[in-house]
Structure 1
Amino acid sequence: MSVPWKGKGSKGEAADCAGARLARQATVEVAGLLGKRDMSRADLARLMDVSPGRVSQILSGDENLTLRSLAAVAEALDLDIKISFVEPKEDGARRTRGLGDGSDAFVYAP
């Protein structure tokens, strides 16, 4: 059975773009949290019991960032993760909000 959004074409491309935006947003959020806590990537690596290189991979903004990786970061920082689906603004503009301040973060797909 084929999954339409995983294939080529406009739906697959839109999903890829949205996934890449979400990954970038997540990594910006983590970087903001580290900055707010005056922590380095090496500090996070120690808390996660992984190499600093692995933390760099996680924070590289790769669209293949996994929920498991994000959960490991949250666990190391003693945080929960909240995922919300929201309606796009009427003008269709994308907006993002976050940077480690605990606010909800939103990304609107095209």
Structure 2
Amino acid sequence: MPWKSKGEKAEAADRAGARLARQATVEVAGLLGKRDMSRADLARLMGVSPGRVSQILSGDENLTLRSLAAVAEALQLDVKISFVEPKDDGPRRAHGLGDGSDAFVYAP
């Protein structure tokens, strides 16, 4: 294995991070849809360019908590992050909490 190669755990963490970022952007897109808002509307509320909102919602694995917080602030929402024990029911995935909220749980 080349010396620059990531270890198996690091690669798994990268994949999990990318999936989590995609799920977060899907959640934001869903919120915009529920509110009949466009990305341009969100950009105006955030005080950023529409291009910046597109970057945030691109599903980039480098999506930051600060970016999510800025989106939440613009939408007058809070972000909820929970760590939970994984279920042993097959492949792990992101899913809604089922409590009527817009929160989700991600199991890598």
1:97 counterpart SS class = strand
More strand, by proportion: 2
The runs of 4+ residues in structure 1 deviating greater than 4 Å are none
Give the total of aligned pairs.
101
CA contact (8 A) 2:22 2:60 kept: yes
CA contact (8 A) 2:20 2:94 kept: no
Looking at structure 2, the residues matched to 9 and 96 of structure 1 have their Cα atoms a distance apart, in angstroms, of 24
Q: Which amino acid aligns with 2:39?
A: R
What value does the CA root-mean-square deviation take over the aligned residues? 1.4
Give the TM-score taking structure 1 as reference length.
0.85
Percent identity at matched positions? Answer: 80
- Given candidates 15, 18, 21, the residue that maps to 1:17 is 15
Q: Which amino acid aligns with 2:27?
A: E
Please state if 1:55 is matched with 2:66.
no
What residue ranges of structure 1 are gaps of 5+ in the alignment?
Answer: 1-6
Give the TM-score taking structure 2 as reference length.
0.87
Please state if 1:67 is matched with 2:59.
no
- Given candidates 25, 35, 38, the residue that maps to 1:37 is 35
Closer/same/farther in 2, CA of residues 22 and 8 from structure 1, 3 Å limit? same
